[in-house]
Structure 1
Amino acid sequence: MDPVQQAKDICLRLLTARPRTRVELGQALARKGVEDDVAERVLSRLDEVGLVDDAAFAEVWVRSRHNFQGLSRRALAVELRRKGVAEESAAEALANVDSEAEEERARLLVRKRLRSLGDADEATKVRKLVGMLARKGYSEGLAYRVVKDEVRTSLLDETF
């Protein structure tokens, strides 16, 4: 089989599963033993026809991972960098998640998790909730502030 056609087939198969960045496709082609010049030709052609668009990928990735996984801007920036998205494209996509949206998402995550912590004492709740937010990339200051507010609010709700 023609190496260009083979490389194109690999890329199209990967793109059928989910959108991917140019770097991800390049890495997949390298793992399959596709020569660099063939990979570059195929990737350039996919760019030209709009099947590979790192800026669009970054926007969709950020929206999805922030809304459904609750990841912070910092965690999203790390993921985009790992996927090979250019800094400029990543910054534009991350600009859609402002501080207010990030804090509101953190509050929603804490409220949801707080319900499952039941009768745990306040210190345990704070430790577990701050840890959860830290794993999702939220800053320590934001995590503590949000958790303290939400734990205090839940304690007040329990007394009434």
Structure 2
Amino acid sequence: MRPTGGGGSEAQAKDLCLRLLTDRARSRAELAERLVQKDYSADVIDRVLDRLTEVGLVNDADFALQWVHSRHTYSGKGKRALAMELRRKGIGQEDAAEALAQIDGEDERQRASELVAKKLRTMSVDDRDRAVRRLISMLARRGFPQGVAFEVVKEQLDRAGADTDDMFEEL
């Protein structure tokens, strides 16, 4: 959907973008989408976003790096979920791949292990099958690979004292 152009002046569009950027960093596509919603013309949108990019206030590569670090560290997201989030934010494939490269397999495994350990503190492991399903599902929803999820859940349940050897042989 392209804007029709009744939204306002270039200065007003710039002010809107600056207000949005004070809340948190945003991708160029996110800002463009908001300007389209406010019915700014395509020409105004392009000029404002080009100027903000030129002065360094909008940088999709930096945004992607910051987003991946923050969401992996504080929200416990795996690479698959982060890749989807970046795509929804309008980040290009190259910038997304570079940002996701900062998370290696060991980082992802460690974060998954922390999440499972935290969840185990508040759940019962009396029904092992149910506990395994719930924990693996939690990790899958957060975008962790299935192999990592199985390994981490088995390891954490072993630490918690639940016997899981027979359960994982069936899988």
Unaligned runs of 5+ in 2: 1-6, 163-171
Q: Which position in structure 2 is the counterpart of 1:3?
A: 9
Unaligned runs of 5+ in 1: none
Greater than 6 Å deviation, 4+ residue runs = none
Provide the aligned length of Structure 1 versus Structure 2: 156
Partner SS state of residue 153, structure 2: helix
Which one-letter code corresponds to 1:139 in the other structure? P
- CA distance in 1 between partners of 2:152 and 2:8 (Å): 57
2:87 aligns with one of 51, 64, 81: 81
Deviation of 1:2 after TM superposition, in Å, equals: 6.1
The 5 A counterparts of 1:1-160 are 3-155=9-161
- CA distance in 1 between partners of 2:64 and 2:8 (Å): 32
- CA distance in 1 between partners of 2:135 and 2:103 (Å): 21
More helix by share: 1
Q: Percent identity?
A: 51
Give the TM-score, by structure 2 length.
0.88
Q: 1:5 to 1:151 in 2, by over 3 A?
A: same
RMSD across aligned positions (CA): 1.4
Whether the 8 Å contact between 2:8 and 2:40 is mirrored in structure 1 is no
